[in-house]
């Protein structure tokens, strides 16, 4: 397929390379051009603007940091919304709000374009290895037409319906659960440390018995060792996702007390200068509260 790709950060760069490897024709754009130039030698064309990346695409992928970044490339004068051909599909792979996902579906429909929400689970190493889990929602025909792209990017695709925003709800629910795992690991390790039990030994026991899931193993190693740099996913972005979770919950009157607790810990971590550490660094707040 002819694919436009906007957003070449820690996740997007590896994803774009995998699409090139799979034989797709890519034109890429990144606000900081030097992030795009290495892909030129891999076979991609570098666009000078988001509109250029979209103008001849059958599918346009956005992988950007937040709502504001997505809205900027969509709404700016002469931007993606105006440039994307009729009948083409915008695949939104960013973690964005439920409200923006609904709006994107509506504005693309007005332009006779299509919108598919396809946020992902996985850190940068999974993106580079094409091992992402992709959660997809949107018009069935468009999803089927883009499956070759999802196959190039991930190890499994989950389809959750024809209304795009539902994929974003799933993504936010998953990220909420990850933050509660980090929080609970930090609290358990703080308890162990105060009783002179090695947290690494506790982790080995727990992941070798009742908590064998990768999320416990991977984040457990980081939290036990307090190794939060370099960041795979920055804490300030985790705080952003937490705000989106709470906004989605408020919209439908769902109390989420654990998300509110995590919010306060994110704010404390940001106040202490941890914005660019991995989001697992929120565990430091738990340790500090325990006098560690």
Catalytic residues: 171
Q: Which residues of 101-139 are buried (b: 16+ CB within 10 A; e: fewer)?
A: bbbbbeebeeeebbbbbbbbbbbbebbbebebebbbbbb
Q: How far apart are CA 128 and CA 123, in angstroms?
A: 9
What residues does 254 pair with on adjacent strands? Answer: none
Residues belonging to the chain: 292
List Cβ neighbours of 205 (8 Å cut-off, separation of 6 or more).
none
Instruction: Note the maximum CA span of the chain.
Output: 64
Contact 223, 192 (CB under 8 A): no
Cα(203)–Cα(216) distance, integer angstroms: 8
Query: CB-hemisphere CA count at 13 Å for 194?
Result: 13
190, 290 in Cβ contact below 8 A?
yes
DSSP-derived secondary structure letter, 47: P
241 and 175 Cβ atoms separated by less than 8 Å: yes
Compute the Cα dihedral for 151, 36, 279, 90 and give only its sign.
negative
* Close Cβ partners of 207 (under 8 Å, ≥ 6 residues apart): 216, 217, 220
Per DSSP, the three-state class of 45 is strand
């Amino acid at each position: 397929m002819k694919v436009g790709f906007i957003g070449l950060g820690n996740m997007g760069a590896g994803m774009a390379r995998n699409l090139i490897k799979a034989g797709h024709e890519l034109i890429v754009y990144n606000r900081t051009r030097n992030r795009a130039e290495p892909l030129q030698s891999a076979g991609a064309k570098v666009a000078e603007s988001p509109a250029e990346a979209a103008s001849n695409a059958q599918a346009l992928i956005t992988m950007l940091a937040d709502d504001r970044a997505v809205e900027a490339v969509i709404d700016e004068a002469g931007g993606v919304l105006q440039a994307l051909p009729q009948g083409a599909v915008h695949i939104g792979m960013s973690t964005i709000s439920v409200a923006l996902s609904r709006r994107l579906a509506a504005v693309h429909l007005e332009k006779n374009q299509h919108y598919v929400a396809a946020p992902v689970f996985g850190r940068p190493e999974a993106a580079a290895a094409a091992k992402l889990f992709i959660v997809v929602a949107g018009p069935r025909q468009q999803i089927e037409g883009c499956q070759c792209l999802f196959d190039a990017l991930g190890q499994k695709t989950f389809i959750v319906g024809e209304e795009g925003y539902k994929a974003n709800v799933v993504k936010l629910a998953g990220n909420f659960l990850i933050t509660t795992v980090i929080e609970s690991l930090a609290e358990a390790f703080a308890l162990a440390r105060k009783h002179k039990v090695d947290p690494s030994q506790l982790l080995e026991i727990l992941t070798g018995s009742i908590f064998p899931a990768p999320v416990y193993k991977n984040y457990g190693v980081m939290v036990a060792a307090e190794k939060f740099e370099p960041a795979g996913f920055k804490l300030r972005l985790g705080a952003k996702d937490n705000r989106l979770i709470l906004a989605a919950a408020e919209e439908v009157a769902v109390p989420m007390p654990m998300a509110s607790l995590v919010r306060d810990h994110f704010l404390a971590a940001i106040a202490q200068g941890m914005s660019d550490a991995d989001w697992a660094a929120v565990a430091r707040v738990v340790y500090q509260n325990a006098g560690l």
